RNA sequence: CGGGGCGUGGCGCAGUUCGGUAGCGCGCCUGCUUUGGGAGCAGGAGGUCCCCGGUUCGAAUCCGGGCGCCCCGACCA
């Protein structure tokens, strides 16, 4: 999906806007609106997605295959997301640090499963300063292999534990196929790495962070995930246990939006990370790692956006309220701008507000631009409003279709923050309902399973025998995979005694087609 | 790596069959008039037609070779 310039790189993306003309011009029948419309979500979800990303000016393409440019509006969303999460990490005792981009190849090889999992998708630097390097340097696909040798030196005694470190960084994974935000060769993320004295503490950390991810996705992103444990063969390379947040997108596919890993003592053994206990013994530490990436931005897009473009939950909207002044004469212009700036001052510090006073665009053009960028509320102020001492507030998203509301000027400063909160709540409720409406519990009939996956899609809860071969067969036949063994909050009251293969079920799992 | 497709102003495309002044829409720039849902008129800028070689009076177009990208599949946060 990503292309390079000079070649048809931005091609498929721009095909998201409909161009009906031909060279001879005989097909110029479509109106401007039709011509500029996105491909509808219902028609081609992935084309729609690319169109939303482009219209919202979230990301662009780069000369390097599979890499994207995060544009200012997209990056602003990432920054909001980042600062909210960072605050949660700090509240729970984590500290940020930064480790090198380059990992000596030999380091990566120290943990057998880890190297096996990541080696196929690494980028390797073989030359530096015009000379061949003695040892190739791997561009980090994740940082365990460089962090543990270093943290090993930081840890001497039980008094140094727990060690709770996080880093915000870029990583590179050489993927075959890429899509903006969802899968790119290089992406931004945070990776937490912690060391603990006991297995229980490490497990508690893994679950703590999973809970933080979940509540952030619900409370900030309005993207409610199902959480649970990954199947044995689906774990992070080198982990004892992997937990994941699986969110349902508007096409009913699953997006793995965050993972936390209990690494047991695997990395401690591989990198010789030991501490001295109170009793004087030397023990390996128990460690965890966990991360979320810019993929979350893609999840945000696929959770809420519509055929007009991006829809952002207010908490993650770089601009929460955009004010569009309307005027004809200079006199009106002065009056309107005065009223608008009054409103701006009243909301300053409480709401991220922007006044769009450009006079090179018509109001209508501004509406489309800001709707495409997902601004939650637009406030229109024109001569008619001045006369009535009111402003018009227009919500980007509503459940009941009532988008436009007149607010008396005196109440606007109080009502607008409330409206933002209401919208945040309604987005979450809508997403939760959509997830539940597209979840199918207690499925035992494989034919029904296949019909759901081939048709509407969704999360299918079944019994499961635990065999990898069983998942492989289902995957080959339906393209659905086991997302997680659900956590308690998401489990059915009871689950079928038989697996989709007909064998005896040992536990419940959630299936879906996934990104 | 297998199967399909594409490479022409910033973007999307026509033109290639059958060689003859490189075009259309969008976007961009300037001016005037506009401004409550993508403004109108007038003027304007912008192209080594992916690269190399060949055929020809003449190549975007024909021939040979190369490169790149996209889609479907295998791999994946």
Give the tens place of pLDDT for each residue, A367-388. Answer: 999 999 999 999 999 999 999 9
Residue A402 pLDDT > 80, yes or no?
no
Residue A129: band (very low, low, confident or very high) from pLDDT cuts 50, 70, 90: confident
Of chain A, the percentage scoring pLDDT greater than 90 comes to: 73
List the structure tokens of A345. Answer: 């001052």
Residue A323: band (very low, low, confident or very high) from pLDDT cuts 50, 70, 90: very high
Which nucleotide lies nearest residue A329, CA to C1'? Answer: B35
Question: Distance (Å) from CA A26 to C1' B18?
Answer: 23
Question: Distance (Å) from CA A28 to C1' B8?
Answer: 21
Among A8, A17, A9, residue whose Cα is nearest residue A60: A9
Which nucleotide lies nearest residue A378, CA to C1'? Answer: B37
Domain boundaries, chain A: 72-304, 319-421, 438-512
Residues in A 259-278 whose C-beta is less than 7 A from nucleic strand B are 259
User: Which residue is associated with the tokens 């829809």?
Assistant: A311
Instruction: Check residue A242 and give its pLDDT.
Output: 96
Largest Cα separation within chain A, whole Å, is: 87
Residue A2: band (very low, low, confident or very high) from pLDDT cuts 50, 70, 90: very low
Q: Which of A63-72, A206-215, A452-461 has the highest mean pLDDT?
A: A206-215
Of chain A, the percentage scoring pLDDT greater than 70 comes to: 93
Strand B within 7 A of A362 CB:
yes
Reduced to 3 states (helix: H, G, I; strand: E, B; else coil), residue A493 is coil
Over residues A448-457, the mean pLDDT reads: 91
Helices (H), A58-180: 72-91, 105-108, 112-118, 144-154
Give chain B positions with protein CB within 7 A.
1, 5-8, 10-15, 23-25, 34-39, 68-77
Instruction: Check residue A345 and give its pLDDT.
Output: 96
Q: Say which CATH topology domain A438-512 has.
A: Translation Initiation Factor IF3 (3.30.110)
Which DSSP letter does residue A232 get? G
Contact A241, A206 (CB under 8 A): yes
Q: What is the dihedral of CA A110, A116, A117, A120, to 10 degrees?
A: 110
Q: Say which CATH topology domain A319-421 has.
A: Rossmann fold (3.40.50)
SS3 content of chain A, % helix, strand, coil (to 5): 40, 30, 35
Which DSSP letter does residue A398 get? -
Helices (H), A92-194: 105-108, 112-118, 144-154
Candidate from A177-186, A212-221, A232-241, A290-299 with smallest mean pLDDT:
A177-186
Strand B within 7 A of A233 CB:
no
Element (H, E) at A254: strand A254-264
Question: Distance (Å) from CA A7 to C1' B19?
Answer: 26
Residue A9 CB partners (closer than 8 Å, separation 6+): A2, A3, A61
Strand B within 7 A of A472 CB:
no
Instruction: Check residue A35 and give its pLDDT.
Output: 59
CA–CA separation, A342 vs A411, rounded Å?
A: 13
Residue A7: band (very low, low, confident or very high) from pLDDT cuts 50, 70, 90: very low
Instruction: Check residue A28 and give its pLDDT.
Output: 34
DSSP A37-62: PBPPTTT-HHHHHHHHHHHTT-EEE-
Strand B within 7 A of A303 CB:
no
Domain A72-304 bears CATH identifier 3.40.190.10:
no
Averaged confidence pLDDT in chain A? 90
CA–CA separation, A142 vs A324, rounded Å?
A: 45
CA–CA separation, A205 vs A208, rounded Å?
A: 5
Order of strands, sheet of A390-395, starting from the edge strand that comes earlier in the sequence: A353-355, A321-325, A377-381, A390-395, A404-408
Over residues A454-472, the mean pLDDT reads: 91
- pLDDT for A16-51, tens place per residue? 333 333 333 333 334 445 557 788 888 888 888 888
Which DSSP letter does residue A419 get? H
């Amino acid at each position: 999906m990503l292309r390079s310039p000079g070649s048809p790189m931005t091609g498929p993306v721009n095909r998201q806007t409909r161009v009906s003309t031909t060279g001879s011009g005989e097909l110029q029948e479509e109106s401007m609106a039709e011509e500029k419309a996105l491909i509808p979500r219902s028609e081609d979800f992935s084309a729609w997605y690319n169109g939303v990303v482009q219209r919202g000016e979230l990301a662009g393409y780069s000369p390097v295959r599979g890499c994207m440019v995060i544009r200012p509006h997209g990056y602003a969303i990432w920054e909001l997301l980042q600062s909210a999460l960072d605050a949660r990490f700090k509240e729970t005792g984590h500290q940020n640090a930064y480790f090198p981009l380059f990992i000596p190849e030999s380091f990566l090889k120290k943990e057998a499963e880890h190297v096996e999992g990541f080696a196929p998708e690494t980028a390797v630097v073989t030359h530096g300063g015009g000379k061949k390097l003695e040892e190739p340097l791997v561009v980090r696909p994740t940082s365990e292999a460089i962090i543990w040798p270093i943290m090993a030196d930081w840890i001497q005694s039980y008094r140094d534990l727990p060690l709770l470190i996080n880093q915000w960084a870029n990583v590179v994974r050489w993927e075959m196929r890429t899509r903006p935000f969802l899968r790119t060769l290089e992406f931004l993320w945070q990776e937490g790495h912690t060391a603990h004295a006991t297995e229980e503490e490490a497990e508690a950390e893994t679950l703590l962070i999973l809970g933080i991810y979940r509540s952030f996705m619900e409370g900030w992103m309005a993207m409610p995930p199902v959480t649970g444990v990954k199947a044995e063969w689906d774990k992070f390379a080198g982990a004892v246990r992997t937990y994941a947040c699986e969110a349902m997108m508007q096409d009913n596919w699953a997006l793995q939006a965050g993972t936390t890993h209990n690494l047991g003592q695997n990395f401690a053994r591989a990198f010789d990370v030991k501490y001295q206990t109170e009793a004087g013994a030397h023990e390996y530490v128990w460690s965890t790692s966990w991360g979320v990436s810019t993929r979350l931005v893609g999840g945000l897009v696929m959770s809420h956006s519509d055929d007009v473009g991006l829809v952002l939950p207010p908490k993650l909207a770089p601009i929460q309220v955009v004010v569009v002044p309307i005027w004809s004469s200079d006199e009106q212009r002065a009056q309107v701008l005065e009223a608008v700036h009054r409103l701006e001052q009243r909301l300053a510090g409480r709401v991220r507000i922007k006044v769009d006073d450009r006079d090179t665009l018509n109001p209508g053009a501004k509406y489309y631009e800001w709707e495409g960028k997902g601004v939650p509320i637009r406030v229109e102020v024109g001569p008619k409003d001045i006369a009535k001492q009111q402003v018009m507030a227009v919500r980007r998203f509503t459940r009941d279709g009532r988008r436009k509301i007149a607010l008396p000027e005196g109440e606007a400063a109080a009502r607008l923050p409330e409206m933002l909160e209401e919208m945040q709540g309604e987005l979450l409720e809508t997403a939760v309902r959509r997830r539940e409406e597209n979840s199918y519990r207690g499925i035992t009939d494989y034919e029904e399973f296949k019909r759901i996956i081939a048709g509407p899609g969704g999360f299918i809860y079944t019994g499961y025998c635990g065999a990898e071969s069983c998942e492989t067969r289902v995957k080959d036949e339906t393209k659905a995979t086991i997302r997680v063994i659900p956590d308690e909050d998401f489990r059915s009251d009871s689950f079928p005694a038989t697996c989709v293969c007909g064998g005896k079920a040992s536990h419940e799992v959630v299936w879906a087609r996934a990104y």
